[in-house]
Structure 1
Amino acid sequence: MKTTAVATAQRLIDAGHTTYFAGGCVRDALLGNEPKDYDIATSATPDEVQALFPKSDAIGAHFGVILVKENKIPFEIATFRHDGSYKDGRHPESVTFSSPEEDAQRRDFTVNGLFQHPVTEEVIDHVGGLADLKSKTLRAIGNAADRFQEDALRLMRAVRFATVLDFEIEASTWQAVQDHAGLLEQISTERVRDEFTRTLVAPGRARGLDLLTESGLMRFIVPEVYALIGCEQPPQWHPEGDVYTHTRIMLDMLGGDVTPELALAVLLHDIAKPPTYTYDEEADRIRFNGHDRVGAEMADVILRRMKYSNKTIEDVCAMVRNHMNFMNVMDMRTAKVKRFMARPTFEQEMELHRVDCASSNGLTENYDFLREKEKEFAAEPLIPTPLVTGKDLIDMGLKPGPVFKKILTQVQTEQLEGHLSTREDALDFVRKTIEV
């Protein structure tokens, strides 16, 4: 990708235009990370860019941005510009083409305001970004309040960059995040959701949760999280502390590469503990009866409010709903264990269960039991091909109806238990079942 990016920039340079790599690609390269994409900033106007790249797409020409594809790789080529006033908290009313110095000043954070010459690799720093990269500091360019009022999504980006890069947010920038958290209401749900998701899947997600919560931003994302703070748990099972502490420890214990669904399920698995909190005086202990079921219902509401996909909602709610069932696995019949393990979210639920226990009581019996069952059942599919079908029942003279499901489930249970292994035995079982 870099080779193509350099060649694309070189075409602009050869035409006499000042041209640099800009923003995140420069930051990531200086941190020793492979850039995911390359943005190019240039003195060339949009018309001049399009003249050099006739097949380009003027998707953002109004803002001086042209999309160019070279070797099937997309590059955003933006003309150095100065932004006018922001009235919608997201986009400038107008832009004026300007210089690299002015262009750097309109960007969000100093570490994202760096330029680099594509050929010589000289770094051009008009905003003090190199010093902040060295000290691992996230600092808004210029007046932090102005930057967030221009584009309120930068509030979420501040938390995401601090989380992903493991940087400290500079004091005045952090104060501005707290002071202007309410501006997040100006931003579309989808954009907030996407930044939130990117924060949750980062290895530093537990710190990200803290930053979102402490800044007040979480009040405009998942406000239900605040009820977790101070919600006590039975100390014999949760010596780590309240539900919030338990949840953040779980997030921290997850591996580096997690799906959004798993991260969301961990965040929301105990979201219903505050509304289901009761104190059993007779047993002298705290209880959260039905918090798994209520939690799944709350998760559904939260995720739909945030406009996650139906598939994500389905998976997260399944994980939240089932997370307490792990305590019963050693008492389940073989057929039920196999069905439990065959569910599409099972492997992610195992990871949720692992960190749920590791962050609290440390018990691993149920987890170990299921891992052993995985080895035991590995020789054949957990749910094998049915020995009997609905057509077989029709051929026996039965009329389709609710009884079909009951009979087929009974046959499958016997098959999963190892009591039936052939079609003939299964048909005999059905005949005897019908007679009864």
Structure 2
Amino acid sequence: MQSVAAALDRLAEAASSPTVAKLAEAFERAGHELALVGGPVRDAFLGREMNDLDFTTDATPDEILAIVKPIAEAHWDIGRAFGTIGAKVAGETVEITTYRADAYDGDSRKPEVVFGDSLEADLTRRDFTVNALALRLPKLELVDPSGGVEDLVARVLRTPSSPERSFGDDPLRMLRAARFASQLGFEVDDDTTQAMSDLAPEIDRISAERVRDELGKLLLTDAPRPGLRLLVDSGLAARVLPELPALRLERDEHHRHKDVYEHSLTVLEQAIDYEGERAVPGRPDLVLRLAALLHDIGKPATRRYESGGAVSFHHHDVVGAKLARKRLRALRFDNDTVAAVSRLIELHLRFFGYTDGAWTDSAVRRYVRDAGDAEQLERLHILSRADVTTRNRRKADQLAFAYDDLEERIAMLAEEEELAAVRPELDGQQIMKLLDITPGPVVGEAYKYLLEVRLDEGPIGEDAAADRLRAWWAARGA
């Protein structure tokens, strides 16, 4: 946490940038107010990087456009219905929003936008006091009508108005509370937490797309566990991601198996750690984090008590993959994300058979083939390693050594056989020419047969593959 003086110095430096200076001068010349607002001001106090430049003004969207057009390299009004105009000024992208209040009519899944008339009123309608801070331009006056600076010092999340009113205006703010708890490492104050529990059913008024986006932002924080706990404890998760709190039902008073809910949160944390250690491009990775969180959601439906007091979860990988597909589709995730997450869940137990005995090269090839592309294989590597949460150090070390060995074998075979692109020596055109057949299902059967040969034996060359195909064709004809 920066001192107020240090934060103001950072804000003054930001305000002197060409982008902010141009905007401040243009709005003042037009006779309108302008203030830097929200996240950038908050982050100046927290010592965080100030990435996005968000502004608010008393100008209407039409007036904003008229002001920014002469000084912007580009502008767009995709958010015009909500009072927001985007622009690129002096090389930086900015958003400028008319003072406003978002309200719901009680049934609608979209906010009803009402434009406001003052900066202070606009700030008191925002989600949390720490985001209800503004720097009035060009005079560099800090505006904090709700005690946001004090809450930053205390590291607490609180709504500017009563939480009942704030969440009633926009129930998505309850999910944002969970996200900011993780993103900022803040505690949510007691009244706000209670309101989240009391008003949890109101989240049903929010579209699946908005819920999806907020859950994604939470999972992409450095430490999502506190936010996820808050969602579960408040009852919100039961409405937007019910498979997560369902894992708490797996707690066993006789300690015959691990707490699956806590295990899943730990796997997510360990997957995030591996992301950093392995320094893979494209991290943080939402697909990996969804798979880590949801990898055991098939357990409640597959729990069985065996003789002798043991507990089993046979086929929870397959069941979990189906449940994940259903939930992610309901949340309007794109098809590629749904497919990738569900496939990882379906495969997450595959590695544990490796410790039962040495895999053949054929088994290793199939492991790589079933994972998919190189990106999915890397995710499977991380998920499999993260899924080891045993406190038995000897067992954990054995599993780690086994996976090291598996990765080494994959690397060796990849170098020898171009493992990342496993395919038969003969393609569809060659198959049709060799067998003198036309396109149809038989070509696919022949290709599949040659792929199995390739997986079992590795590269055998085109001539040997042609001999195998002729023998297969003759046997098939017979």
Which structure: greater helix fraction? Answer: 2
Contact 2:104 2:168 in 1 (8 A): no
Tell whether 2:238 aligns with 1:219.
yes
How far apart are the structure 1 equivalents of 2:403 and 2:125? Answer: 52
Size of the aligned set, in residue pairs, is 432
How far apart are the structure 1 equivalents of 2:33 and 2:430? Answer: 76
Tell whether 2:95 aligns with 1:95.
no
Contact 1:234 1:285 in 2 (8 A): no
5+ residue gaps, structure 1: none
The C-alpha deviation readout for 1:17-50, integer Å capped at 9, x for no partner, is 3321001121123222223321112244444433
The C-alpha deviation readout for 1:219-271, integer Å capped at 9, x for no partner, is 11111222211414799995xx3111111111122226432211111122111
Q: Which residue of 1 aligns with 2:347?
A: 322
The C-alpha deviation readout for 1:84-132, integer Å capped at 9, x for no partner, is 78554753463342x2222221111111110124566553222211111
TM-score by structure 1 length? 0.88
The C-alpha deviation readout for 1:190-244, integer Å capped at 9, x for no partner, is 1011101111121211222111100110111111222211414799995xx3111
- For 1:140-151, list aligned pairs within 5 A: 140-151=159-170
Q: Secondary structure at the match of 1:142?
A: coil
Q: Which residue of 2 aligns with 1:395?
A: 433
Equivalent in 169, 182, 191 of residue 188 of structure 2: 169
Q: Which residue of 2 aligns with 1:249?
A: 266
User: Relative to structure 1, is the Cα distance of residues 432 and 5 closer, same or farther in structure 2, using a 3 angstrom cutoff?
Assistant: same
Equivalent in 340, 349, 352 of residue 380 of structure 2: 349
Q: Which residue of 2 aligns with 1:287?
A: 312
How far apart are the structure 1 equivalents of 2:122 and 2:378? Answer: 47
Shift of 1:16: 4.1
Contact 2:155 2:187 in 1 (8 A): yes
Compute the RMSD of aligned alpha carbons: 3.0
Q: Which residue of 2 aligns with 1:376?
A: 412
Which one is further off, 108-117 or 32-41? 32-41
Tell whether 2:366 aligns with 1:339.
yes
Q: Which residue of 1 aligns with 2:279?
A: none
Tell whether 2:196 aligns with 1:160.
no
Contact 1:83 1:96 in 2 (8 A): no
Q: Which residue of 1 aligns with 2:9?
A: none
User: Relative to structure 1, is the Cα distance of residues 47 and 374 closer, same or farther in structure 2, using a 3 angstrom cutoff?
Assistant: same
Q: Which residue of 2 aligns with 1:131?
A: 150
How far apart are the structure 2 equivalents of 1:422 and 1:105? Answer: 72
How far apart are the structure 2 equivalents of 1:114 and 1:376? Answer: 56
Q: Which residue of 1 aligns with 2:389?
A: 358
Equivalent in 421, 426, 429 of residue 465 of structure 2: 426
How far apart are the structure 2 equivalents of 1:346 and 1:235? Answer: 37
5+ residue gaps, structure 2: 1-13, 277-282
Shift of 1:69: 3.4
User: Relative to structure 1, is the Cα distance of residues 16 and 93 closer, same or farther in structure 2, using a 3 angstrom cutoff?
Assistant: closer
User: Relative to structure 1, is the Cα distance of residues 378 and 399 closer, same or farther in structure 2, using a 3 angstrom cutoff?
Assistant: closer
Percent identity reads 34
Q: Secondary structure at the match of 1:377?
A: helix
Q: Which residue of 2 aligns with 1:268?
A: 294
Contact 2:109 2:205 in 1 (8 A): yes
